């Protein structure tokens, strides 16, 4: 059984929008990779993006991001369509200070994971809805040394 830090989990959960990868880099010697697995249009103007964050090659966070292209500024959509950066990095690069509204947070001890759903809000408008799975078994230092 891998040992992970409750403090690290809390830091991830409490990280400001766009700072989760930074929190992980600080605790895993920078060996963190964010990858956009796929991004598809599900309805006109409605997109779903699947993202994976790995630490030392092990999946730590998997996320599904939903967004509407009619709500987002063109510069943000242009970056999203490139599929190279995470949502938080794009927002930070454009000096957009968004907030997070947690919809749900669940811890499944049997499957050793935490799931949460939240919205990223800017100027009172929901820009993104994100469903995230944090794999506690891969968060431990045993896998990431």
Task: Give 46-74 pLDDT, tens digit per residue.
Answer: 999 999 999 888 899 999 999 999 999 99
In the numeric block, which tokens belong to residue 26? Answer: 């600080």
CATH code reported for the domain at 6-139: 3.40.1410.10
Look at the chain and count its residues: 145
Please tell me the pTM assigned to this model.
Answer: 0.87
Q: Which helix (H) or strand (E) holds 42?
A: strand 32-43
Do 89 and 18 contact (CB within 8 A), yes or no? yes
Q: CA separation (Å) from 5 to 2, 9, 138? A: 10, 6, 11
Residue ranges of domains in the chain? 6-139
Regions of the chain short of the pLDDT cut 70:
1-4, 30, 140-145
pLDDT for 142 equals: 41
């Amino acid at each position: 059984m891998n040992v992970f830090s409750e403090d690290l989990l809390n830091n991830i959960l409490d990280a400001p929008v766009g700072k989760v990868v930074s929190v992980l880099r600080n605790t895993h010697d920078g060996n963190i990779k964010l990858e956009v697995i796929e991004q598809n249009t599900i309805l006109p103007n409605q997109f779903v993006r699947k993202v994976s964050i790995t630490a030392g090659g092990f999946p730590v966070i998997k996320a599904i991001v939903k967004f509407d292209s009619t709500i987002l500024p063109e510069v943000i959509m242009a970056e999203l369509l490139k599929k190279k950066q995470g949502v938080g990095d794009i927002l930070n690069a454009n000096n957009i200070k968004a907030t997070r509204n947690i919809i749900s947070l669940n811890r499944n001890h049997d499957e050793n994971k935490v799931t949460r759903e939240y919205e990223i809000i800017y100027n009172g408008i929901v820009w993104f809805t994100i469903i995230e799975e944090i794999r506690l078994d891969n968060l431990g230092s045993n896998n990431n040394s």
